[in-house]
Each structure stands twice: as C-alpha cells, then as structure tokens.
Chains A and B, each alone.
Chain A
Amino acid sequence: MTADQITKGAFAFIEDLIPSELTLHLMEMGFLPGKRIELLHQAPLQGPMAFKLENSVIALRHSEAMLIQVQMDH
C-alpha cells in the first residue's frame, strides 16, 4: 500500500519510493526506506496530509503520498 492510505493516528514503515520526478525531493525531506511515519493531520477534501517523520512534521499532497510505498506498523 502507499502512504496516502494511512489513517489518522496510524504508523507505517517506508518500504520504497516509487520512481518519479519527485523522488529526490522526497528523499531530501527525509522520506527514506526504513523510516517510520505517522499520519498526524489530514486537511479536508483530500487536502494535504501531515506526517510525523522522526522529529519533524512534513505535509505532503495526496498525489505525493501515493509515491511512498509503506507497510503498516501495528
């Protein structure tokens, strides 16, 4: 599954990044395989999603979260 399907408050591990022109941007922000992320907030109407990634909170659009392959962490 991809990161846009994470529900609010749930955790997931990043498995891989789906190659795209945004891959480098995502890596620059710290979205790297093995990292654990948590969905903190979700703006209405499928707006941006705020993920907690280690010590920072980073907002991504749905279309960007779709590029991150994750495994849910139960």
Chain B
Amino acid sequence: MSEITIPTNTSTFSVALVGNPNVGKTTIFNRLTGLRQKVGNYPGVTVDKRRGAMQAGHNNVTIIDLPGTYSIYPNTEDEIIVHRVLNGLDEENQPDFVLAIVDMSSMERGLFLVSQVMDLGLPMAIVLNMEDTAENQGIVIKTHQLYKALGVPIIQSNARSDKSLKSIEELITNKSFAKPQPFLNPEDLLPDSLANTVNKEFNLANAYQAFQLIRFHESEVLLKKYQKDFIREKIAEANFDLKEAQVRETKLRYKAIQDILKQCTEYKDIKTKKLTQQLDKIFLHKVGGYVVFLGVLLLIFQAIFAWSTIPMDLIDGFFASFSGWVYETMPAGVLTDLIAEGIIPGIGGVLIFIPQIALLFGFLAILEDSGYMSRVVFLMDRLMRPFGLNGKSMVPLISSVACAIPGIMAARNIGNWKDRITTIMVAPLMSCSARLPVYVILIALAVPDENVGPFNLQAIALLGMYLLGIVAVLLVSIVFKLILKSKEKSFLMLEMPLYRLPKAKDVAITMFTKSRTFVLAAGKIILAISVVLWVLASYGPSSRMEAAIASIEVPEANADQEVIDDYNSQISSVELENSYIGIAGKFIEPVIRPLGYDWKIGIALITSFAAREVFVSTIATLYSVGADVEDELTIREKMDQEVNPQTGEKVYNIATSFSLIVFYAFAMQCMSTLAVVYRETNGWKWPIIQTAYMTAMAYVSAWAVYQLLS
C-alpha cells in the first residue's frame, strides 16, 4: 500500500501543553499563539480545552493548553480532563505530541507528572521553565545529565524572554519530540497478564495506560457498563489491590525521581532574604494580611464603580447619538424603528459593560499571575469553613462580582465535591455587573439623592445591595452545608507560589479575550431578546388589536395638537397592552400582584429571565422613550411619571421599587449561568435546583419587602 502524502504546507499536528499549576504554562501558550486562541463559548477563565493556532514553518500547529495539575490521577475536574486527553479517552482531542513544562525551582513535583506522561508513551519533550527563579534560589540543573536519565529532549527556558520562546518554537517546528521509554517498570505496577488482557480488550498502547484505566475505571463516565464489569472481573481474577497499587506507584516514582535529581541538581548558597518571604510577612500577617486584602477589594470596587464611569458614559453617549442619527437619516418605517429602538440600544446595552468587565478581569488576572490569590485562599479558608465553603471558594466568589459564569468555572479548582457544588450554587447570589444598571435605576427611584454626613444615601444603598449579596451567599451556603451529604473529606493543600510581577501583555490578552467572549456570548442573547421583544411588543393578534384601537374615540380633523397627542399616546398604550408580550404580562399579573408589580413590570420580569440586564432595555422599550432609550435619566423620569390607571398612584413607589430591587438581587435571571452550571455539573439537576431556590427566595423576599413597606 502506498503512503498517502500530505502537502507539507497544509499538514497539521497538535501539541498538548502539560505541567503543574503556576509553571508559566499559560504564558508560553499565550506567547506561542498570540490572539489566535479559541476559548470555549462562555466568558471566563480556563475552559476545558484552550486551543490556539501556531504557524511553525510549513505546518499549522494546534496548541492545546491543558489545565495545570500535579498528576494525571483524576481527582479534580481539571485533572480529569488531563487524564482523559493524555489517555486517549477523549478522541477529538488526542494530541500528537506532548510538551511538558516543569518549574526548575520545583523539579521533583514537576518530574512526577512528566514521568507519568512518559509512561503513557506519547512522543514528548520537556521545557525546564523559570530559569530565572531557579537561579535566584541557587538551583542549577545539569540538563545533559537529565536528558541522559530521561531520554527525551529537554530545553531550559525563561518563558518571558524572547530567546527562550524562539527555542520552544524551533523545537515544535522541528518536531523534536521523542517517544520515551517507560519510566517505571510496568511489572512493578500490575501483573503482566492483567495488563495484557485489558490492553487487548480496549486496544491500548501500553501497560501504563492499562494501569490508569484499571485504576480509575469506576469513575470514568466514558466507559460502558459492560466494559466496567469486564475490568472489575479481571481485577478480581488477578486479585489486584487498586488503592495499594497507586500508593506503591507514587512511592516508586518519587524514589526514582529523587535518585535522578541527586545526579542532576546542584544547590548553591543563596541569599536568605527572599522578596517573597518578606512580602508574606505582611500579606499573611494575622492582622495586616486581612487589612491588605480589604484594601485590595476596595481598590477593585473603586475601579469598577468610579474609574469605569468615564468610558461607560462615552459608550452610552455614542449609542444614544447613533440611535438618533439613524432616526434622522433613515427613512421612517418599521425597519428604522427596529434598528433604532431594538438593535442599537440592545448592542449598546451589552457594550456598556465592557469597561467594568475588562477592568475586573484585569484585576483578577493580576491577582492570579502575581501569586497573591493563593494567599487570599490561605487567609480566608478558616473563615469560610463554618459556612460550608472553602478558602478556594474565594476566587469564584470574587469573580462572580464581575460575572457568575467565570466564577462558576473557577470553582473547578475546588477538589471537594460538596464544597464545589455549594460554591457553584451560591455564586450567582453575588452581585454581578449585570445587576448594576438595574440597581442604579431603581435606587434612583426609591432612595432620595441626599447626603447623610459625607455619605450619599444612594451610594450607601448600592453598597448595601452588594453586602446583601454576600450575606445571602453565606446564609444559603449554610443551608447547603446542612443538606448536602458527602463521604469525601474536604481538603485544602495549596501551593503558595513565589510572587512575581504580572506581565502587562498577559493581563491585556486576558482582558481582551474575556471581554470578547462576554460580548459574543452575552451579546447574542441580549441582542436576540431585544429584537424578539421589539417584535412581540409591536405586534399582537390582529383581531384583538383592531378592536382595541377601534374602541378609542378618534379626534376630529381640526382638533388641536394636545388632543391629537393624547390620542396617539392612548393608541400606543392599547397597542402595547394587546401585543403578544402585553398579553403575556397580563397573564402573569395575578402572580406578581402581591409583590407590587403591574403587567408591564411582568413583561420586564419575563424578558429578564434570559438576562437580568435586559430589564432596563425592556422598560425603555415599553415606555417607548424613543431615541434616548439608553439614557438612564430619561428612563428614570418616565418610570417616575408612570401611574397606575386605576388608583392614580405612582407605579414605582418606594414599596414596589424596593421589592423589585430585592427580587433582582436573588432571582436566577441568567440563561448563560444556567448553561454553565449544566455543563459544570453534567446534568440538569443542579441548574434546576438553583433556579427553583433562587426564584423562591426572590419571590418570598420581594413579597415580604412589599408588604412591609406598603
């Protein structure tokens, strides 16, 4: 059979990056692929498979950035992904080569993972990264000795320097990967006969793959029941002790690695005063540490609320005038209305969040890259325990102030199932940036713009909403702590890396990619809803619509302007009432009446179930503020003037406004979040529970607030 020849300029291969957390893997990935990255469908941090494209000579190379792990034992979600990809269980993402990144200042742990990858038998190469840190610590690695011991290509690098990057690029371009010899003798791990039987049945490449499959077959969802039964049977036949085998493997591996490192490492005298130790004396101080953390949080909030107003006002102003320009320039008609009232404000409603989202993700990237985030985990773990949360819950919860989606995805790092589920369940209660426009507009209606001492009442109310979110998180966590049962033991175990200065380019790339994914994902929903809403609000069952319009008395031809204006506004009012969306709002009115809402607010609630920020644009469309839809002052004035036709009282009185604020604080109104929870928990159970409890909580609290205040 003749070989199929593929033209060199189109042939592609894929390289998976593996390594421990904090070894500079993402920096290498970013620098190899630049902005040619694909990051999942949702805004957020590391998604299952971060992929990027790289041009290497004539080849288009796909780089797969796997999550950082210490081993390929599948304990946390991240490790499961690494385990699957490297074991070939994930057929779509089988890499051709593996590039293992090792922190030179932490060789033993790095080589643990590397030696496991070697045993899997994939062609690989090793990058010894963080040359500079190792140098500072007086560690010298004899690369050639190590190469002789391991038998795969090794390069030393400092991923932040251009020279090192070039050598990594060259390594990939020349495909300087080698198929390694097994690091451990497979016979030490499991009986040959067992390995052979399983290899044959599952078509595996070597004994270590068989070992992995046997060890973890029970939790492997990709296996069919009869396959699991087969493995179970063979284990019993061979009288093979799984747990013991894994402990033995770990001990053997460390022993072998320590022997190698003795040959290849030299320690030089180093300066005792290290910057990290000095900084930790402050950052981890029993009192000072918490003061610093509070200061960091205040700085972030200051940035989100104060600094971002300038670009936000610019975006706001731009879209308002753009809408106006479209009105004036385009011929009057349905299409112009759709564009100027539906689409442009819809897009503006998304883009206005960019400054806040970008700033927040920028801060999070700085905290993460600098190594400070793990100090936060250290400080907060004890305080989170009574609530059934984990120090590692801090990252998801803080991220959720920007958006619950990256927050929920960040919960992957929590190894314990119960702590992780609790964190996922409560993360959407943190006040996310999408609630901000809703709060701003409702607080302006309910709270007077007055000062008490140096403090503005409205600002205090807004701060209060953030605190309310935090209190809700803690209380609901306690409930989940009491309800959820788990056999697993909660554990922390966390490495505190050396502090380093985050690289501006990495932070910028994070800010850009996160904002872009937010705009594309959230934007699609908001845009679609804006358009659908506009259509549903403009059309209704024609017989019903005509009858309603006919019932209004037509003014005489010579009537003055005031009468005609009044007639027009009556017409648009009944048109809305008899539109499809109006009928839907009327339908749910009896349910929301006890909360103090009318059918128009009902419409806003319905549309907000897709995304809560839609509230403002819905209200804007409903009260047809026209070209100024994104001008919150105008909307607020309209809302303030809205009266109940039966009672003649203001619709947005204090009781209704506060009731709405509380409803929006607790209700699950974000389809993207539900989609992520579905994906992260592998099923509909948890998203349904989340929607149910949050909606119930919102309804009851809003009802209580309304009854108390009215």
Contact surface of A with B, Cβ cutoff 8 Å: 20-30, 32, 40-41, 43-48, 50, 54-61, 64
Closest 5 CB pairs of A and B: A47-B382, A57-B496, A41-B284, A59-B494, A61-B492
B378 touches A58 (CB 8 A): no
Q: B382 and A56: CB pair below 8 A? A: no
Contacts of B379 in A (CB 8 A): 43, 47
Q: In the complex, given contacts A27-B247, A41-B280, A48-B378, what are 16 additional A-B residue pairs having Cβ atoms less than 8 angstroms apart?
A: A24-B246, A25-B491, A27-B254, A32-B254, A40-B280, A43-B284, A43-B378, A47-B381, A48-B382, A48-B391, A48-B492, A50-B378, A55-B105, A57-B280, A59-B496, A61-B492
Contact A45 B493 (CB under 8 A): no
Residue B374 CB within 8 A of the other chain: yes
Residues 233-286 of B at the A interface (beta carbon under 8 Å)? 246-247, 250-251, 254, 276-277, 280, 284, 286
Verify B75–A25 contact, CB threshold 8 A: yes
Query: How far in angstroms is the closest Cβ of chain A from B158?
Result: 17
Output the least CB separation between A39 and chain B (Å). 12
Contact with A along B133-157 (1 / 0, CB 8 A): 0000101000000000000000000
Q: Nearest Cβ distance between residue B526 and chain A, in whole angstroms? A: 41
Q: Is B86's beta carbon under 8 Å from chain A?
A: no
Report whether A29 and B254 are in contact in the complex, using a CB–CB cutoff of 8 Å: no
- Kindly identify, within residues 65 to 87 of chain B, every residue whose CB is under 8 Å from any CB belonging to chain A: 70-71, 73, 75
B102 to chain A, nearest CB (A): 13
A41, B281: Cα distance in complex, Å: 8
Across the interface, which residues of A come within 8 angstroms of B139, CB to CB?
55
Measured CA separation A57–B71 after assembly (Å): 18
* Bound form: Cα–Cα A55–B574 in Å: 74
From A20, A22, A40, A56, residue with most partner B Cβ within 10 Å: A56
B489 on the interface (CB 8 Å rule)? yes
Report if B108 contacts A (CB, 8 A). yes
Residues of chain A with a CB closer than 8 A to B491's CB = 22, 25, 61, 64
Q: Quick one: which of B112, B284, B286, B382 contacts A28, CB cutoff 8 A? A: B112
Mask of B362-402 contacts with A, CB within 8 angstroms, 1/0: 00000000000010011101110000000100000000000
A57 to chain B: closest residue by CB: B496
Q: Are B492 and A59 in contact (CB under 8 A)?
A: yes
Find chain B residues with CB under 8 A from A28 CB. Answer: 70-71, 73, 109, 112, 250
Query: Which residues of B sit under 8 angstroms from A50, Cβ to Cβ?
Result: 280, 284, 378, 496
B401 CB to nearest A CB, Å: 23
Do B250 and A27 touch across chains, with their CB atoms under 8 A apart? yes
Residues of A within 8 A of B277 (CB): 40
Alpha-carbon separation in the docked complex, A61 to B242 (Å): 27
Interface residue ranges of B412-431 to A (CB < 8 Å) = 415
- In Å, the complex CA distance between A41 and B137 comes to 20
A64 partner residues in chain B, CB cutoff 8 A: 491-493
In this assembly, does B568 line the interface, its C-beta being within 8 Å of a C-beta of chain A?
no
Report the bound CA distance from A20 to B213 in whole Å.
23
CB of A22 within 8 A of CB of B489, answer yes
How far apart are the CA atoms of A27 and B415 in the complex, in Å? 16
Cα separation A21 to B250 with both chains bound (whole Å): 14
What are the residues of chain B within 8 A of A41 when measuring CB–CB?
Answer: 280, 284, 378
Residues of B within 8 A of A60 (CB): 492-493
Q: Is B167 an interface residue (CB 8 A)?
A: no
A53 CB → nearest B CB, Å: 9
- Give the shortest distance, in Å, between A6 (CB) and chain B (any CB): 16
How many angstroms from the CA of A55 to the CA of B494 in the assembled complex?
14
Give the residues in chain A near B286, CB-CB below 8 Å: 43-44
B546 contacts A by Cβ under 8 Å = no
For A29, list chain B residues within 8 Å (CB). Answer: 70, 109, 493, 495
Q: Does B106 contact A (CB under 8 A)?
A: yes
On chain B, the residues within 8 Å of A61 by CB distance are 381, 491-492
